[in-house]
Amino acid sequence: MTAMNTKPHYRTVWISDVHLGTRGCQAELLVDFLNEVTADTYYLVGDIIDGWRLKKSWYWPESHHAVITNIMEKAKNGTKVIFVPGNHDEFAREFVDMTFGHVDVRMNDIHTTADGKRLLVIHGDEFDGVVKYARWLAYLGDTAYNMAIMLNRYFNAARRKLGYGYWSLSAYLKNRVKNAVQFICNFETAVAHAAAKRKVDGVVCGHIHHAEKRMIGNVLYCNDGDWVESCTALVEHKNGELELLHWADMRNMAMTYIGASDTNSSPTTAGLGRLLSLFRTAQPHNKPKTTLARQNAASARTGQNTPMGKTA
C-alpha cells in the first residue's frame, strides 16, 4: 500500500502544447498528472492557452479552468513556474521578463540539470517556416489540424464505450504521412543546429506535438510533446536524468496491470497517479505477458525504442 500513497517527485517538469480553449485538449488527463506528480520547477513551453481558437469561438470548460488553477496554486506555494509563450499564446510575449501570479514569463531560458548539462528551453515556432513566413498558411493548417482532432475525439468516445483506453488517431495519421514525417525531421535538425550555435548541451522544445528524446550530433534534442494527442511530459530526475512520460499510455497500462474493471472512470476519480506508482514499482519479471505486449505496441506507435515511462 505504500506505493499507492507515493507521488512521483521530479527536479523539473516540462509540458507544452496543452491548447486550453480547444475541444481537443486532454485537460482531465493533465489535471490528473498535475495532481499526482510534484516537482521543484515546472516549465510551460508554449501553446498552453490557444488564443487563436478562443478568438474564433469561446470554449472554456471547468477542466480547463482546473489546469490553470492547479498551476497557479503550485506557483503560489513556492514551486518555480516558468512560462515560455508559443505562437498560439503569443499575446503573452508582450509580458516577457515580467512575473504574474508568481509565474515568470520568458522568451526562452537556459536550464542547468543536476548533472551540469545546459539546456536551451524554447517553444520552437521560430523554426517553423510556415508560421514565420506564411501566417495565412499556418491558420489554414490549424483549421485542418483541428478537424483531425475533432475526429480523434469522436474516435476515442467510441473506444471508451467499447472499454478501451485513450489512443490518438490524429497522431497515428500524422506519423504515417510522408511530408509530415519529413517536416518533423527537418524541424528537429534545425532546432538542434540552433542549440549547437548557442553552445549548450541540449534543447527542450514543443510546437510540433511529437515527443522525442535523442542525440542529434552532439546536441541532446528533447521535445516534450503535447496534451492534445500524446499526453506527454519531459521530466528531470534528481540525478539529472531526463525521461519522457507518456501519461495516457502509462495510465492505460497501470489500470490493466492491477486489473481495474471500471475503464469509464474519469482520470481524477481513478487516482491514476497512484495506480502508476504501483505499476512502476512492480518487479518487471512479474508483469503479465499481455501487459508487456500492450507496452511494446505503445512504444511502436510513438516511435520510441523503449517502453513507455522509461528513459528514451
Residue 228 in domain: yes
Per-residue DSSP letters for 136-190?
HHHHHHHHHHHHHHHHHHHHHHHHHHTT-----HHHHHHTT-HHHHHHHHHHHHH
Would you state the pLDDT for residue 161? 73
Coil/strand/helix, residue 212: strand
Per the prediction, the chain carries an average pLDDT of: 78
User: ∠ CA 61-66-67 to the nearest 5 degrees?
Assistant: 105
Distance (Å, rounded) from C-alpha 100 to C-alpha 87?
19
Would you state the pLDDT for residue 166? 67
**AA identity, residue 196:** A
pLDDT category, 154, cuts 50, 70, 90? Answer: low
**Total number of domains constituting the chain:** 1
Residue 159: Cβ-neighbour burial (10 angstroms; 0-12, 13-18, 19+) = middle
pTM confidence score? 0.73
Name, of 6-10, 176-180, 217-221, 303-307, the range with top average pLDDT. Answer: 217-221
How many CA atoms, within 13 angstroms, populate the side-chain half-sphere of residue 140? 5
For residue range 132-152, list pLDDT tens digits in order. Answer: 544 444 454 555 556 666 666
Residue 82 in domain: yes
Residue 5 in domain: no
Q: Which has the minimum average pLDDT: 5-9, 51-55, 187-191?
A: 5-9
Nearest to 207 by CA among 302, 305, 130: 130
Would you state the pLDDT for residue 243? 95
- Residue 31: which CATH number? 3.60.21.10
**Sign (positive or negative) of CA dihedral 221, 204, 54, 39:** positive
Whether the Cβ atoms of residue 51 and residue 20 lie closer than 8 Å to each other = no
Grid cell at residue 234: 519531459
Whether the Cβ atoms of residue 146 and residue 53 lie closer than 8 Å to each other = yes
Residue 253 in domain: no
For residue range 34-85, list pLDDT tens digits in order. Answer: 998 999 999 999 999 999 999 999 999 999 999 999 999 999 999 999 999 9
**Sign (positive or negative) of CA dihedral 193, 194, 200, 203:** negative
Residue 257 in domain: no
Provide the percentage of residues in the chain whose pLDDT is more than 70: 63
Would you state the pLDDT for residue 271? 54
Residue 282 in domain: no
Residue 291 in domain: no
Residue 147 in domain: yes
pLDDT category, 131, cuts 50, 70, 90? Answer: very low
If you compute the radius of gyration of the chain from its CA atoms, what whole number of angstroms results?
19
pLDDT above 70 (res 236): yes
Domain that holds residue 173: 10-246
